[in-house]
Structure formats: structure tokens, C-alpha cells
Amino acid sequence: MRSKNDDGFTLMEMMVVVAILSGVLAMVMTTTIAAQKNVNGNAARLDQVQQGKVAMESMSKTLRTAVRPSQLNATCTGCDAAAFLQGNARTVQFYANINNPANILGPSRVSYSVDAAGVLTETIQAPNAHSATDYNYQYCTQGTAGCAVSSRVLARGVSTTSTMFTYYDASNNTFATLPLASTDLPSVDSIDIVVVVSSSSQVSSTTFTQRVTLPNADAVQQTAVPTP
């Protein structure tokens, strides 16, 4: 007779228990990994949406203030007659009437560009210091000592192959040749902005599209008529 203290499990029983526990553990791990991927995917998607939203809101808001310097009583030595200085598929530069209360500072030069790494950057340069009644706005050369230029990153993971900016004239005709020629720059009346952000391989890219009209870019400054 076997004593009570010698009771135990057979090898077959142990193998069955190990197999069951392995199956349970595998299911738990599969569920955990799937949940983690889902969480990471949602976080990546939310990040893409947030970056695209910030970029679209910033660019559309500032582009609407595009203005010819001459519309602000300026002679603007070295400035172009048009509101836009450059226009390409993923780069644009223009004069914007921002940060200019009472027209004391004058228009800023603003540019948006996407580099080879997919970083969308906003660059703003205010005119050189001048008296409040001096409308001859001038700008220092970027990169030189003492030339103040502010830059910030609007989005990362932006497409480097798709067209971000499409330009239209007042008749809604597309400027097919890019970069825009100097003769085309004064005729830009509206812009389509398409921002494609893909910051993670776990989720599909996020696309934002908006048409921006430019009420000031081609406006004609009116001379005030004296009241009789």
C-alpha cells in the first residue's frame, strides 16, 4: 500500500495542465498585444489629426491676410508688386498683414515649406524697425547676424510627394506651371491646401483639404473721397 504522503500527479496530468495554461497564456498575450496595437493606432491617428488640424488652421488663417505692401501705403524698397513672392507645390511665400495693429509695423514675410524629411515649417519675418509714419518697409536678409526670423514646426510626417498648394486666378483657372512665374504671382486669387500627414506606419495617412480665398491679395486700394 502506498502511503498518503506519496500521493502526487502523473506525468500525463502535468502535461495536460501545462498545455491548458499555455493556451490560456497565449490567448491572454494575443488579446493584450491586439489591445496595445489598437491603443497605439488610436494615439497615432489622433496625433496625425491634431498635427493636420493645427497646420491647416494656421496656414489658412494667415494666407487670408496675404496683402500687397502697396495696399498699406508702402513704397517698400525691394518688395514685389504682388502679395506672393513664391508659389510652388510644397512651398509658398507671401506678404501677410499680421501682427500689425494700426499698420505700425507693416506686413510680415511668411513662408510655408515642407523639407525632405516631411517637416512642415512656418517662417515669419517682420519688417526692419522703422518709425510709425515710415511706410517704406524693408527686410533684412535671412541668415545674417541680427536678422530676426521666427520659425515653428506645424506638422511632421507630411507627404513629400503630393501637391500641397494649388493656385487659381480670379476666373478659377489653375496655374498648371509651377513654380509660379513672376507674371503669374499678381494674379493668384485663391489657393487649395491639401495636407497629408502620415506620422506612423500603423495607421493610414490623414488628409485635410481646404480652399482659401484671398480677399486682399488682388484688391485695389481705393482713394478716399472727401466729404463735401
At 99-150, the pLDDT tens digits run 888 888 889 999 999 999 999 999 999 988 888 888 888 888 877 877 888 9
**In which region does residue 16 sit, left (phi positive, over 0), alpha (psi from -120 to 50) or beta (all else)?**
alpha
Tell me how far apart the alpha carbons of residues 126 and 147 are, in angstroms, rounded to a whole number.
Answer: 10
- For residue 217, the model assigns a pLDDT of 63
Low-confidence ranges of the chain (pLDDT < 70): 1-8, 39, 41, 78, 80, 217-228
Spatial neighbors of 129 by CB under 8 A, at least 6 apart, are none
Tell me how far apart the alpha carbons of residues 131 and 108 are, in angstroms, rounded to a whole number.
Answer: 16
- H or E element: which one contains 106? none
Domain boundaries, the chain: 43-213
Tell me how far apart the alpha carbons of residues 79 and 36 are, in angstroms, rounded to a whole number.
Answer: 54
At 200-214, the pLDDT tens digits run 777 888 999 999 999
- For residue 210, the model assigns a pLDDT of 94
